[in-house]
Chains A and B, each alone.
Chain A
Amino acid sequence: MKEETSNNSRRKFLKSFGISVGAAGVVSSFSLIGAAKAAAKKPAEMVNLLTQDGQLVQVDKNQLRPTVNEPLDELQKRGREGIPGKSFVMVIDLSKCRNARKCMSACQNHHQLRADQHHINVLQMQDAEHTAPYFMPKPCQHCDNPPCTKVCPVDATFKRQDGIVLIDNERCIGCRFCIAACPYSARIFQWTEPKDSEKYKDLTYNIEANVPQKKGTVSKCLFSADRLREDKLPSCVSACPNGVYYFGDRNEDAVTNGTTGETVRFSKLIEENAGYTLMEELGTKPRVYYLPPKNRAFEFNGDLLNEENLH
């Protein structure tokens, strides 16, 4: 008997609950329709807008919608997949680098880094005591056998089909295993609040540029993957004033110089200039090739404080 009453009460409750929810739904939908109608009927307040082709037009204020940013999921998905059919490579001609550091500032600008944080860094090199010193820009090598992605415990850093190694801020837990694994020291860690974090806090995270940067995560060179999607050269490549960088697609066997815009055969460039990769004995198979600093276009002056040297 007791059980029956309890059953009844449950049934009653469910019934009344269902009815009330249903009613609420109907009422709210009515109210929505009403609101929409009211909006449509309301005397239109017009606003002036400038179209893309430079025309000034009047638009009903009720018709205005905020612009839809590319949603995070879409950016994440295409960022993981990469650009099909491409195989990006970079060639750095050391004989032309005179430490202008334009690549570094362009990179820091693009990826919202402070002046002391480097996705690409121009190093002063001297291989042995009696060898000639030279400048060497060093971005991430985007290895074909990347040690960094092997150690990531949360699949935050990964390699895409076009050869680029990316890092996903949304997944990164800041364990810094990848920093330890990378033999090229290509990765940095955001120890503090990144530059302009307040300014960009509402920006949708773009995995292909790794912006906005996030405190407590790892960041690295991305070959400006967001620019590549628009067929633009990476920021560093197009910022160089001295023709140091070539960038292109190995599948097409062509690389384009960022300064002169000249396109040359990748295989020929490497073959004729004895191109090499960094620390190939590690078997990391880098995608960044170097042309030796032979027959240099300038005199080496390692003194960075010297103004003459900073062009």
Chain B
Amino acid sequence: MKNTIKNIAALFLIFVFSGSIANAQGWTVPNSAKKKQNPYEATSKNISSGKKIYNLHCKSCHGDPTMANMIPLAPVAPTDLGSQNFLVQSDGEIYYKVNKGQGAMPTFEKTISDEDKWMVITFLRSFDKNKKMKQQVAEVKNPEVTDVKFELNVNEADKTMLAKLSGVTKKGKRVGLQGIEMSFLVKRSFGYLDVSGEDPYTNESGDVQIQFPKDLPGDREGQVNMLVKVTDDAFYGKLEEKRVVTLGVPTDPVNPLDERAMWGTRANAPIWIIVTFVGGVLAIWSVIFLVLFQMIKLPKLAKNKD
């Protein structure tokens, strides 16, 4: 009897204590917000797009989910968003916190769209050991394959690119892989510009075609460095190909120093300034010389008069 009471008391203490850990940040969320449900299903498409948004907006502080490699901020370090401690919260709670922010956590109410926020929550939910099974929804399943690769075809005439993603099945047959997101990135000075468009997912035969922007500048010959890859390397590992393609608009960089301008150095001062200045100097000196010359002539004139 005593033991059972002790056990119950211990359980109760553990319960209270774990509750206090979950609320350790002291961040209260209104009950109405807690009830909000994620309207998006946990499809692999949604999860991978959530991962993309996570990497853009959350990773810089929170690190990778479950890896606990967040930046050590004081006094409160960012939470590992893949930890079970965090994921005990309801979708609505996470959504509320992302929206409002607190302390060093910025508000994302207006900087990320609602859809994107839910995608991130879907992505985070995929680390939840308790809910994972429940939320898995039937979706397109690709057969188990090995030797996954993609071929890239570039059509320079109408500026399109076609990638064909395929793998070898157990039976030794090469089949296209469906529903996998591909990224078509153009190398720019400080990062990669995504030109994948709205729907860069492979179709039934493993193809994905994108339209390269018609007005994107390339170098003098119109060449650009492309990086094409499978967006999420969780599926088939890191698959990417770098290629130089001639799809950009040929652009000749203008050197502002070539034009003559007021702000330029002496070498490229505007012609009118050079002319006015040199003319002015010449005019002044010639007047001085003229006067001097006349003064030299004075004594002679005096003599002549005598």
Fill in one digit per residue for A118-132: 1 if any B CB lies within 8 Å of its CB, else 0: 000000000000000
B4 at the interface (CB under 8 A from A): no
- Find chain A residues with CB under 8 A from B191 CB: 254, 256, 261-263
Would A86 and B189 count as touching, CB distance under 8 A?
yes
Stretch at the interface among A38-46, A65-73, A142-150: A142-150
Q: Smallest Cβ distance from B222 to chain A, in angstroms?
A: 13
- Answer whether A252 and B262 are a contact pair too, CB < 8 Å, given A159-B256, A260-B60: no
- Answer whether A295 and B190 are a contact pair too, CB < 8 Å, given A86-B253, A253-B217, A260-B60: no
- Find chain B residues with CB under 8 A from A149 CB: 263
A106 to B54, CA, bound (A): 25
Would B190 and A263 count as touching, CB distance under 8 A?
yes
Stretch at the interface among A185-193, A213-221, A239-247: A239-247
- Find chain B residues with CB under 8 A from A241 CB: 61, 104, 106
Would A145 and B261 count as touching, CB distance under 8 A?
yes
Would B266 and A248 count as touching, CB distance under 8 A?
no
A42 to B266, CA, bound (A): 57
Q: Smallest Cβ distance from A307 to chain B, in angstroms?
A: 10
Residue from the list A95, A98, A146, A155 in contact with B106, Cβ < 8 A? A98
Would B192 and A263 count as touching, CB distance under 8 A?
yes
- Find chain B residues with CB under 8 A from A264 CB: 193
Would B107 and A231 count as touching, CB distance under 8 A?
no
B28 at the interface (CB under 8 A from A): no
A311 to B107, CA, bound (A): 11
A100 to B189, CA, bound (A): 26
- Nearest A residue to B219, CB-CB: A85
- Find chain B residues with CB under 8 A from A251 CB: 217, 251, 253
Q: Is the interface of B mostly helix, strand, loop or mixed?
A: loop
Interface-centre pick from B110, B189, B253 (highest chain A CB count, 10 A): B189
B255 at the interface (CB under 8 A from A): yes
Residue from the list B56, B104, B109, B266 in contact with A262, Cβ < 8 A? B56
Q: Count how many chain A residues have C-beta atoms less than 8 Å from C-beta atoms of the other chain.
A: 45
Would B257 and A161 count as touching, CB distance under 8 A?
yes
Residue from the list A145, A252, A298 in contact with B188, Cβ < 8 A? A252
Would B111 and A297 count as touching, CB distance under 8 A?
yes
- Answer whether A155 and B265 are a contact pair too, CB < 8 Å, given A251-B251, A254-B188, A297-B107: yes
- Find chain A residues with CB under 8 A from B253 CB: 84-87, 251
Mark out the residues of chain A between 196 and 214 whose CB falls within 8 Å of any chain B CB in the assembled complex: none
- Find chain B residues with CB under 8 A from A248 CB: 188-190
Would B188 and A260 count as touching, CB distance under 8 A?
no
B241 at the interface (CB under 8 A from A): no
Q: Smallest Cβ distance from A237 to chain B, in angstroms?
A: 9
B299 at the interface (CB under 8 A from A): no
- Find chain B residues with CB under 8 A from A247 CB: 190
- Nearest A residue to B56, CB-CB: A260
- Find chain B residues with CB under 8 A from A160 CB: 257
Fill in one digit per residue for A272-311: 1 if any B CB lies within 8 Å of its CB, else 0: 0000000000000000000000011110000000000001
Q: Which A residues have a C-beta under 8 Å from some C-beta of B?
A: 84-87, 95-96, 98, 144-147, 149-150, 155, 158-161, 163, 231-233, 241-243, 247-249, 251-254, 256, 259-265, 295-298, 311
Q: Which B residues have a C-beta under 8 Å from some C-beta of A?
A: 56-57, 60-61, 103-104, 106-111, 186, 188-194, 213, 215-217, 219, 251, 253-257, 261-266
Q: 8 A–B contact pairs at CB < 8 A? A: A84-B253, A86-B253, A95-B110, A145-B263, A150-B262, A251-B253, A252-B189, A297-B106
